[in-house]
Amino acid sequence: MPDDLFDPGLGRPHHSGYVVENIEATVQRLVEQFGAGPFLLVENVPLEDVTSRGEPAQFEHNSAFGSCGGYPIELLEVARATPERVEARLSGRLPRIHHVGYALPQTAAEEVRAGFEERGLEGYLSSRLNGEYTTVHDASATLGHDIEILVDAEAFREFFKMVLGSAQGWDGSDPLRPLG
C-alpha cells in the first residue's frame, strides 16, 4: 500500500448493531429464523457524557446482545435521540443495520477516529460506558451503515465473553434475559 493511503487498521468487525422497533419481537424472529440467542437485555443503557459534535446529546435506549452463528449482534430499541442529526441516523425503516462495531486499543481508536474525521466520516455521537469512550461515525454514504469505534477494555471483553458463552449448549429456552 502506498504510504499516502489511509489504512484505518480496523481489523475484523467486533459486532453488528441493528435498530429495531421491538426487541422482544425481534429476538423471537431471530431465534426462530436463525437459531440466534440467547440475548442479554440491558435496559436504559447507562451512557455518560453523551455528545454530538461537541454539544450535549441524548441517546436513550435499550440494547439486547446475543450470538448469531458465533458472531455477536446488538439490537437497539431507541426511546429518545437528540439532536436531529443523531435522531436521523437512528430512525427510518425498521429493522435495519445501524452500525458495525470495531474494538481497538485506546491509542489505535484515537488514531482511527482522527483519520475518519479527516476523511469526512464524521463522528456524530460520542459517549462513555464504564469509563470507556465510544464514537459512532457516519459511513452510510459509502457502506450503507455507520461505524462504531470502541475501546477494547477488560470489562468490554468480559461482557462479550459472557454474551457468547451464554450461547454454548443453549437449549432455546428463555431467549431474552435481563442482565443483572
Confidence of residue 16 (pLDDT cuts 50, 70, 90): very high
In this structure, is residue 2 part of a structural domain? no
Q: What is the Cα–Cα distance from 162 to 92, expressed in whole angstroms?
A: 31
Give the residue numbers spanning the domain of 93: 15-169
**Model confidence at 113, in pLDDT bands (50, 70, 90)?**
very high
- Among 2-6, 34-38, 51-55, 76-80, which stretch is predicted with the lowest mean pLDDT? 2-6
Residue-wise burial string across 7-44, b where 16 or more C-beta atoms lie within 10 A, e elsewhere: ebeeeeebbbbbbbeebeebbeebbeeeebbbbbbbee
Neighbours of 175 (CB within 10 A): 18
Model confidence band, residue 1 (pLDDT cutoffs 50, 70, 90) = very low
With the CA atoms of 162, 168, 170 and 174 taken in that order, what torsion angle do they form, in degrees rounded to the nearest 10?
A: 10
Mean pLDDT value across residues 165-174:
95
Residue 158 lies in a domain: yes
**What mean pLDDT comes out for the span 57-73?**
97
SS3 string of 89-125?
HHCCCCCEEEEEEEEECHHHHHHHHHHHHHCCCCEEE
Residue 56 pLDDT class (50, 70, 90 cuts): very high
For 3-7, 21-25, 81-85, which range has the lowest pLDDT when averaged over its residues?
3-7
Structural domain contains residue 164: yes
How much is the pLDDT for 9? 78
Using alpha carbons, list the distances in angstroms from residue 41 to 17, 38, 84, 144, 162.
14, 10, 26, 26, 12
Residue with the three cell numbers 446488538: 74
Question: Residue 180: inside a domain, yes or no?
Answer: no
Is the predicted pLDDT of residue 133 greater than 80, yes or no? yes
Residue at 100: amino acid letter: V
Structural domain count of the chain: 1
pLDDT at 5: 55
**Quick check: 82 pLDDT over 60?**
yes
7 domain residue, yes or no: no
CATH of the domain at 103: 3.10.180.10
Domain membership flag for residue 177: no
Q: What percent of the chain has pLDDT over 90?
A: 92
